[in-house]
Amino acid sequence: MKKIYPKKLQKGDEIRVIAPSNSISIISSANREIANDRLSGLGLKVTFGKNVEENDEFHSSSIKSRVADLHKAFQDTKVKAVFAVIGGFNCNQLLKYIDWNIIKNNPKIFIGYSDTTALQNAIFAKTGLVTYSGPAWSTFGQKLHFDYTLEYFKKCLMSDDKFTIEPSEKWSDDAWYKDQDNRGLIENDGWLIINKGKASGTILGANLCTLNLLQGTEYFPDLKNSVLFIEDDSESKLVNFDRDLQSLIHLPSFRGVRGIVIGRFQKASEVTNEKLVKIIKSKAELKNMPVIANVDFGHTSPIITFPIGGEVTVDTRNKSIVVNKH
């Protein structure tokens, strides 16, 4: 399938915020204001889907409402990018109700992370449209220490130039949305090189356990000539990550994977470098491909923006990750 790269954002563009998983109602008014002000500061006009405030006992809304907002966002020619409010647990419910031609015929930026992984990889598999794992609309509500996240958002979505990913200076794993002024920053020790090598290919993945929900369905992307970017949140301990990764490895198409980039784990996952190395080294299928860990994406802060379906080169000799096309 031919890849479709959406047009980049420019000042004056309208963006549409939708809630494919959790409702916007869980976001505080103060954090909403910060998010909208920051996006407006980029010269973007922020609009919202009709049903984003709808909220049920699962902190979500009906399939009908979520699909309607998704379709409307892509059909509206004034809208140049679609942002997920936040993650959640259930956007894979939407997949069989989506009119994929609406998305294919109206290509535009679609960005989010975590549970949105299911929708992003399905869009790429069904339409060829490159989507983006990066800050959700709610992520823009971080009052402090947002510079790195914003830098890579702009590099990926407001420029066509290839860019090199560098480690952040500091990172955090705090509930910033509850206490904006007291952040627990941690010095970044840099990336962990587990397996050496060089690989180029198509970026696929993002949240590992969510990606695995697509296995065996028409929504799972082709792994041929791919570089997997994978991460998991605090609910996933290292044993869960291990078996989820093993599940991917068992796929016949895994032979097409050229390299793996692993996002930073949350502290509650209790992952150590030593344990992670042991797990990766135990898998013979990975020994001939580069594997880099502790990269700035996932459920800690800050995070990069990267293209699902875009092109990357990973080279451990000079510790470089270069996004060539996005």
CATH number at residue 307: 3.50.30.60
* pLDDT score for 291: 98
State the SS3 of the chain.
CCCECCCCCCCCCEEEEECCCCCHHHCCHHHHHHHHHHHHHCCCEEEECCCCCCCCCCCCCCHHHHHHHHHHHHHCCCEEEEEECCCCCCHHHHHHHCCHHHHHHCCCEEEECHHHHHHHHHHHHHHCECEEECCCHHHHHCCCCCHHHHHHHHHHHCCCCCEEECCCCEEECCCCCCCCCCCCEEECCCCEEEECCEEEEEEEEEEHHHHHHHCCCCCCCCCCCEEEEEECCCCCCHHHHHHHHHHHHCCHHHHHEEEEEEEECCHHHCCCHHHHHHHHHCCHHHCCCCEEEEEEEECCECCCCEEECCEEEEECCCCEEEEEEC
| Same structural domain, 213 and 76 | no
| Same structural domain, 224 and 119 | no
pTM: 0.98
| Same structural domain, 132 and 171 | no
| Same structural domain, 233 and 284 | yes
| Same structural domain, 97 and 195 | no
| Same structural domain, 64 and 101 | yes
Q: Which domain holds residue 178?
A: 163-325
- pLDDT tens for 201-246 read 999 999 999 999 999 999 999 999 999 999 999 888 999 999 999 9
Determine, yes or no, domain membership for 4. Answer: no
Q: Which of 168, 299, 311, 326 is catalytic?
A: 299
- pLDDT tens for 68-122 read 999 999 999 999 999 999 999 999 999 999 999 999 999 999 999 999 999 999 9
311 is catalytic: no
| Same structural domain, 173 and 308 | yes
| Same structural domain, 123 and 46 | yes
Q: Which of 21, 23, 61, 231 is catalytic?
A: 231
226 is catalytic: no
Determine, yes or no, domain membership for 153. Answer: no
